[in-house]
Amino acid sequence: MVAKKQKTEKKIVTDSNIPIKQFYKKPSKSSKGEPGKFPFTRGIHAGMYRDRFWTMRQYAGFGDAKQSNARYKFMLEKGQTGISMAFDLPTQIGHDPDSVQAEGEVGKVGVSISSLKDMQTVFNGIELGKVSTSMTINSTASTLLAYYIAVGQSQGFSSKQLRGTTQNDILKEYVARNTYIYPPEPSMRLIGDMIGYCATEVPQWYPVSISGYHIREAGSTAVQEIAFTLANAIEYIQTCIDRGLKIDDFAPRLSFFFCCTIEFFEEVAKFRVARKIYAKILKERFHAKNPKSLQLKFHTQTSGESLTAQQPDNNIVRVAIQSMAAVLGGTQSLHTNSRDEALALPTQESAKIALRTQQIVGYESGITKTVDPMAGSYYLEELCDEIEEQTWKYLKKIDKMGGALKAIEKGFFQAEIRQNAYRLKKEVDDDSRVLVGVNKFADEVEAKQNLLRIDDSLGRKQEKAIKALRKSRDNKKTTAALSKMQSVAESDENLMPYILNSVKSHATTGEISNTFREVFGEYKPKEIF
């Protein structure tokens, strides 16, 4: 008699390679606690969305300031509750439109802001004291915040009335995005200056939004996303403490930015775990006493990497699922990607559909009627336990390396992300990971899309504008302001008042950045193999 071969059970895992059981029956420890109470696993507010929806903040910006101003006004009219600014690459890396390095990139992936005049135009008719603005800007964050403060003051609002966020997370730039200018040490000095300045002068502003989004988009797992992000947060916090700041004076104004992919339950679990671990770090490691210091407040963006150029209307469904995961995970604000973003900048109609997705989740789905509706799911809670355990392992390993900055300099973060990104790509290539409309259910003929493109003539227009500005301003005043800023950069004094003074004297983004380049130098990455 021939024995029957046993059927090998297929291994089923999450996107982060966490094994998934056929079913779950054992309750977990993770559901203990109440919303609004330490360790905030179930949400940072007792009532969550029963009391107030998240901020619906659609990421937008393209072309020149006038074009972006029109888009912001359109989205606000359609029910958007906050502004989220995208900047073009020259603005992000501190080059004016007439710079050789800016050629072909002006206004392409965001709005071109090279002067106070541009910032005044982009917010024309939008009262800064009555709207919250998030700016996705890092290397030049101090300059863009200074523009914003100056515009607010020109509208009659003091800096203490302004609300919003600058991303300003330079550490992840060295890991995942590469829009850095200066080496890590002076970059951290600028961030410390901003945090210190905002603590007293712009108290409603979040001077840094520590970003896991770009780490995830570069190919990390969910575990790596929160572990590396929290490690970066520890580095920023320690920098501020080393400068003499007290933890409860600045920690309540730290915020986070996470990605939400389509692995639904894992993403919900990820957000819950991030809150829990952060609260414990702030309480046990940094001895924060203010409950607001312990609360991980975060913005979420649906995954751009998950969008497909093929059958782009499928992206509407992907974004809807990701939006629900972000809300069930307890986000404080949300951007939903548009269906056509894998192809071009979103059209006005696509942006409206993306906003409507948030609104339908909030007003029609019913998931906002109770706090933490996923609590008690055996599967979800066990996922939380597993993600928490793996995250602590990473954090301990990073601590042994000397912290996030040392780990980044050694290439640890980069190597870990690269390894997982390779795994994910391999799974798509061998069809073990299904992408609907790409490697399964593909269409032979794709429908033609109506796309938004930015003409190269915009660059020439912006070149003329910046040259006209330099001719019309008081150049002696500008030069004096930049010179004073440079001398302060060579000392330990807080730079923000001097950046603000340079901005008000109509110094440009490129001129301010170049002044700092002379003092700080430029970062040259090491090759990591």
Report residue 398's pLDDT band, with 50, 70 and 90 as the boundaries: very high
Do 297 and 331 form a contact (C-beta atoms < 8 A)?
A: no
Residue 258 DSSP SS3: strand
Mean pLDDT across 408-424: 94
In 3D space, the residue among 210, 289, 285, 288 whose CA is nearest the CA of residue 254 turns out to be 210
Mean pLDDT across 215-232: 97
**pLDDT score for 42:** 94
Please report the domains of the chain, with CATH numbers, ordered by start residue.
48-429 (3.20.20.240)
Tell me the percentage of the chain whose pLDDT exceeds 90: 87
Mean pLDDT across 468-476: 96
Residue 6 has pLDDT above 60, yes or no: no
> How does pLDDT run across 313-322, given as a tens digit for each residue?
999 999 999 9
Report residue 29's pLDDT band, with 50, 70 and 90 as the boundaries: low
Mean pLDDT across 338-359: 94
Specify the higher pLDDT residue, 145 or 445.
145
Do 260 and 196 form a contact (C-beta atoms < 8 A)?
A: no
In 3D space, the residue among 64, 70, 62 whose CA is nearest the CA of residue 109 turns out to be 62
Burial of 329 (0-12, 13-18, 19+ CB in 10 A): buried
Do 512 and 143 form a contact (C-beta atoms < 8 A)?
A: yes
> How does pLDDT run across 273-323, given as a tens digit for each residue?
999 999 999 999 999 999 999 999 999 999 999 999 999 999 999 999 999
**pLDDT score for 25:** 78
Tell me the percentage of the chain whose pLDDT exceeds 70: 96
Q: For 21-30, 185-194, 457-466, which range has the lowest pLDDT when averaged over its residues?
A: 21-30
Mean pLDDT across 265-275: 98
CA distance 516 to 529: 31
**pLDDT score for 31:** 57
**pLDDT score for 529:** 46
pTM of the model: 0.91
